[in-house]
Amino acid sequence: MPGALRALARASHFLLYVFMIAAPASGWLVMSLRHQRTSVFGLFTWAWPTVPALASMPHAQRQLWHDELLPLHTRLSYLGMALLVPHVLAALWHHLIRHDDVLSRMLPRIAAERRGAGSST
C-alpha cells in the first residue's frame, strides 16, 4: 500500500480509538451532571455511576458544565459516525478491489481458520 494511504489508514484508526474513548467518557460526564438515568435506545434505563466531583456541584455550576460538555459529546458522536463510513468503505475496497486479506483478518472466525490452515502446512 502506498505511503500516503498507509498514513491515512493509521490516522483514521487513531481517530477511531480516540472516539471510542472520548465519546463514552464525555457521555458519562454529561450523565453525572444531569443526575438522571439514561435510556439505552428506549429499551431499558441504566443508572450510571456518577463522578462525585461533578455530582456534588451546585445546580448552576452543573448546568454551566453541562452546556459545555453536551455539544462536545454530540460532535464526538457525529465524528464517530463520519469515521465509520470511510472505514467500512476502505475495508470493502480491500476485499472487493484489491483482493487482499485485510477484511478477513478483522473477522475472528475467518482469521482463526486461516491461522489453523496455515500452521498445518
Where do the domains of the chain lie?
Answer: 3-120
Provide the pLDDT for residue 112: 64
CB 50 within 8 A of CB 31: yes
Cell numbers for 98: 484489491
pTM higher than the cut 0.75: no
Provide the pLDDT for residue 118: 56
Query: Which residue has 453525572 as its cell numbers?
Result: 32
Query: What ranges in the chain are assigned the alpha helix state H?
Result: 3-34, 52-55, 59-93, 102-106, 108-120
Query: What tens-digit pLDDT sequence spans the chain (121 residues)?
Result: 688 888 988 999 999 999 999 999 999 999 889 888 888 888 998 887 888 898 889 999 999 999 999 999 999 999 999 999 998 898 888 888 988 887 777 777 765 676 676 555 4
- Measured CA to CA, the distance from residue 59 to residue 55 in angstroms comes to 9
